Chains A and B, each alone.
Chain A
Amino acid sequence: MTGVMTSPQTNPALLEVRDLAVEFATYGGTVQAVRGVSFSVEKGKTLAIVGESGCGKSVTVQSLMGLIPMPPGRITAGSARLNGVEVLGRNVINGKDIRGSQIGMIFQDPMTSLNPTMRIGDQIAEPLQVHRGYSHKRAFSEAINLLSLSKIPEAAKRARQYPFEFSGGMLQRAMIAMAIACKPSILIADEPTTALDVTIQAQILDLLQDLQAETGMAIVLITHDLGVVARVADEVAVMYAGKIVEQGSVDDIFYRSAHPYTLGLKLAMPTNDPDKQHKLNPIDGSPPDLFAPPPGCGYCQRCPFSMKICDSRPPENFEVAAQHFSRCWLHHPQARISPAAPSIPRELYVGERA
């Protein structure tokens, strides 16, 4: 496979994931949830992994965190290097657990992700006690600092409360406080605002960006919301059926979309740009069954541009422009778009901004 995404020599990647593959053994057979995923994250940058439910985006980051239950899960291939050290399959490196210390993580549903029987302050103090060996007293007072850093008013009082006394937005702030307690170099945020209202979402995204500016941590943001991606991401990886189908800078993905799936997603959403109004063009059909993934491109059954080769051979990862990759046969120099296929005008897709 050509052209795995690499970062410029001057700025070595903080996290480098190569050819990650994860499967789950179930009664119905083996689900190939992640089928060869490569990406890298740089210090201080935000990578957004976008995709629809079941595309493997959560499994990808959970395997980095060692959160995949094994069995039934199994990492069948790949590597993930954090500052050059392999992290896959081992949660303890040089006697230290990387989970919670070097990589922090926040989850979609703050209501169920926190322990309902523990005070908020104690939960935030816990990683400091475990990883840093702080006394409870010291850790608890640090927890109060972290809560105010996450812009929770009356932090000292709030630290003594339980999760049920917090609103959803406040819980998400508490979870962020916990995730950044040990000053991780990477924060993984798995759909952090999906359960929240837009006004609260805006607050949380602002908070994440402020914290990133202060600490220089990298953020890996998992989301299905292209609006959120446009707002916070530097780099974007679009996932479909267990693979990254397109990857590049946020402008590449939105203004110079190369993969038919990315294009399709854009056309399936309404735009509020008065100059670009269009009728919604749904993507017909549904994603392939990952119990028996198709031998070729995972998207070809739904793709208006699919060609004969798409059915049988997985597309290579073409570099369509510098640092902009698309896994689609259309980029092959010999590819011709089948005249029968595209019912959607291609100009609409490749809407470049002046």
Chain B
Amino acid sequence: MAALVETINLTRYFDIGRGQRVHAVDDVSLTIGEKEIVGLVGESGSGKSTFGKTVVGLHGKTSGSVKFRGETLPQSYRPADFQRLASKMQMIFQDPYSSLNPRMTVGEIIAEGLRLHSTLDRKQVQARVEEWLVRVGLQAGHMSRYPHEFSGGQRQRIGIARALILEPEFVVCDEPISALDVSVQAQVINLLGELKETLGLTLLFIAHDLSMVRYVSDRMAVMYLGSLVEIGKADAVYFDPKHPYTEVLVGSNPEPDPELERRRPSTAIVGEIPSPVNVPQGCRFANRCPKVLEQCRSVTPQLITLKDSERQVACHLYN
């Protein structure tokens, strides 16, 4: 599979004053193949959203680089870069309530990308917006309404239409369903799936719902405190986790199946994700890891590919 998006040692720190910095994304190298869905999971504060935003250029890069179809993208974007790249890379945001401008009509929101990035005239833009409203399961007549008149699921559809009307090749979906109810989540996931097929999209699907990520993704990447700890086929990572953190994450994910839950040993681990300001030396998971070794506290494990598999794990247990 040809790589569409490639991050190489991508790093994003945030200075928070007094010489301190948040290590939000640290040295992340991830390749996303054409027409592939890569799921990115991790706890809050693990840097998954920052990673997604840095990839599409909403954050500048502290170091490292992002390649799109082999072309290295600028370190931080100028308006002209957005102008050029927005029609190729788009983003769908988590919160369908705060990510839509309440003063703009739905038609204006969806049309904005086209107005800025295409040469279509007003009539053509309107026709495209109507087409997309129907495509995402709304009605053409909804154009003149405002976001507050829609439910969460409908707003997320508006967000999807806004992102996809430019027919980008690559879309970062940042927790697109976590604000929605279960019955509506499935509507949005199926819509994304259909659009992915018809438009040949490549997706980075960021979420904390492991079951949903496993269902949606081809490959799954697990992030902990700014770095990638495991990458592999989604089913393989879920059913046969290699990294102790992935094991804990999967073990903590409650399944809607009482029998399974009764049989399952308690995997609750002690402690919480440490602050990304003072990142521990060595493996970042060492202080919570049930299988910690001596060297974990001093030597940072590198992502290595396991024998006879596509699985990559950053853990000394596999060295």
Residues of chain A in range 242-282 having any CB-CB distance to chain B below 8 Å: 250-251, 254-255, 264-266, 268-274, 279-282
Q: Is the CB–CB distance between A286 and B258 below 8 Å?
A: no
Q: From the candidates A200, A225, A282, name the one contacting B184 in the complex (CB within 8 A).
A: A282
Once bound together, how far apart are the Cα atoms of A250 and B270, in whole Å? 28
Q: Which residues of A contact B253 (CB under 8 A)?
A: 198, 227
Q: Is the CB–CB distance between A280 and B257 below 8 Å?
A: no
Q: Is B15 part of the binding interface, using a Cβ–Cβ cutoff of 8 Å?
A: no
Once bound together, how far apart are the Cα atoms of A230 and B238, in whole Å? 19
Once bound together, how far apart are the Cα atoms of A270 and B177, in whole Å? 13
- Greatest chain B CB density within 10 A among A52, A198, A201, A273 is at A198
Q: Which residues of B contact A274 (CB under 8 A)?
A: 239
Q: Is B302 part of the binding interface, using a Cβ–Cβ cutoff of 8 Å?
A: no
Q: Which residues of B contact A268 (CB under 8 A)?
A: 182-183, 185-186
**B interface with A by C-beta (< 8 Å):** 43-44, 151, 153, 181-187, 189-190, 208, 210-212, 214-215, 238-239, 248-249, 251-261, 266-270, 272-273
Q: Is the CB–CB distance between A281 and B186 below 8 Å?
A: yes
Q: Is A80 part of the binding interface, using a Cβ–Cβ cutoff of 8 Å?
A: no
Q: How far is the CB of B239 from chain A (nearest CB, A)?
A: 7
Q: Is the CB–CB distance between A227 and B268 below 8 Å?
A: no
Q: Is the CB–CB distance between B266 and A286 below 8 Å?
A: no
Residues of chain A in range 159-214 having any CB-CB distance to chain B below 8 Å: 167, 169-170, 197-203, 205-206
Q: Which residues of A contact B259 (CB under 8 A)?
A: 251, 255, 353
Once bound together, how far apart are the Cα atoms of A91 and B182, in whole Å? 35
Contacts A197-B44, A199-B269, A202-B267; A53 near B256 (Cβ below 8 A): no
Q: Is the CB–CB distance between B43 and A197 below 8 Å?
A: yes
Q: Which residues of A contact B251 (CB under 8 A)?
A: 202
Task: Count chain A residues whose beta carbon lies closer than 8 angstroms to a beta carbon of B.
Answer: 46
Q: Is A85 part of the binding interface, using a Cβ–Cβ cutoff of 8 Å?
A: no
Q: Which residues of B contact A227 (CB under 8 A)?
A: 211, 253-256, 261
Q: Is the CB–CB distance between A202 and B268 below 8 Å?
A: yes
Q: Is the interface of B mostly helix, strand, loop or mixed?
A: helix
Q: How far is the CB of A224 from chain B (nearest CB, A)?
A: 7
Q: Is the CB–CB distance between B258 and A254 below 8 Å?
A: yes
Q: Which residues of B contact A266 (CB under 8 A)?
A: 256
Q: Which residues of B contact A226 (CB under 8 A)?
A: 182, 256
Q: How far is the CB of A82 from chain B (nearest CB, A)?
A: 28
Q: From the candidates B211, B257, B260, B266, name the one contacting A202 in the complex (CB within 8 A).
A: B266
**Subset of 7 A-B contacts with CB under 8 Å:** A202-B251, A203-B269, A269-B185, A272-B211, A272-B255, A283-B183, A286-B184
Q: Is the CB–CB distance between B211 and A269 below 8 Å?
A: yes
Q: Which 5 A-B pairs have the closest CB atoms?
A: A227-B254, A270-B215, A282-B186, A283-B183, A226-B256
Q: Is the CB–CB distance between A271 and B214 below 8 Å?
A: no
Once bound together, how far apart are the Cα atoms of A268 and B249, in whole Å? 22
Q: From the candidates A53, A203, A229, A251, name the one contacting B268 in the complex (CB within 8 A).
A: A203
Q: Is the CB–CB distance between A206 and B182 below 8 Å?
A: no
Residue of B nearest to A250 (CB): B258
Q: Is the CB–CB distance between B272 and A169 below 8 Å?
A: yes
Q: Is A347 part of the binding interface, using a Cβ–Cβ cutoff of 8 Å?
A: no
Residue of A nearest to B154 (CB): A286
Q: Is the CB–CB distance between A198 and B187 below 8 Å?
A: no
Given A170-B272, A201-B252, 9 new contacts (CB under 8 A): A52-B183, A198-B43, A199-B248, A206-B266, A224-B181, A227-B211, A227-B256, A269-B256, A353-B259
Residue of B nearest to A234 (CB): B258
Q: Which residues of B contact A199 (CB under 8 A)?
A: 43, 248-249, 252, 268-269, 272
Q: Is the CB–CB distance between A269 and B272 below 8 Å?
A: no
Once bound together, how far apart are the Cα atoms of A227 and B190, in whole Å? 21
Q: Is the CB–CB distance between A198 and B268 below 8 Å?
A: no
Q: How far is the CB of B47 from chain A (nearest CB, A)?
A: 14
Q: Is A284 part of the binding interface, using a Cβ–Cβ cutoff of 8 Å?
A: yes
Q: Which residues of A contact B153 (CB under 8 A)?
A: 286
Q: Is the CB–CB distance between A202 and B252 below 8 Å?
A: yes
Q: Is the CB–CB distance between B214 and A270 below 8 Å?
A: yes
Chain A 50-61: CB-based contact to B (< 8 A → 1; otherwise 0): 001100000000
Q: Is A147 part of the binding interface, using a Cβ–Cβ cutoff of 8 Å?
A: no
Q: How far is the CB of B54 from chain A (nearest CB, A)?
A: 22
Q: Is A228 part of the binding interface, using a Cβ–Cβ cutoff of 8 Å?
A: yes
Q: Which residues of B contact A269 (CB under 8 A)?
A: 182, 185-186, 211, 256
Q: Which residues of A contact B182 (CB under 8 A)?
A: 52, 224, 226, 265, 268-269
Q: Which residues of B contact A280 (CB under 8 A)?
A: 186, 189-190, 215
Q: How far is the CB of B7 from chain A (nearest CB, A)?
A: 24
Q: Is the CB–CB distance between A254 and B256 below 8 Å?
A: yes
Contacts A225-B254, A270-B214, A282-B187; A198 near B208 (Cβ below 8 A): yes
Q: Which residues of B contact A229 (CB under 8 A)?
A: 256
Q: From the candidates A198, A202, A251, name the one contacting B258 in the complex (CB within 8 A).
A: A251
- Greatest chain A CB density within 10 A among B182, B211, B268, B269 is at B182
Q: Is the CB–CB distance between B151 and A283 below 8 Å?
A: no
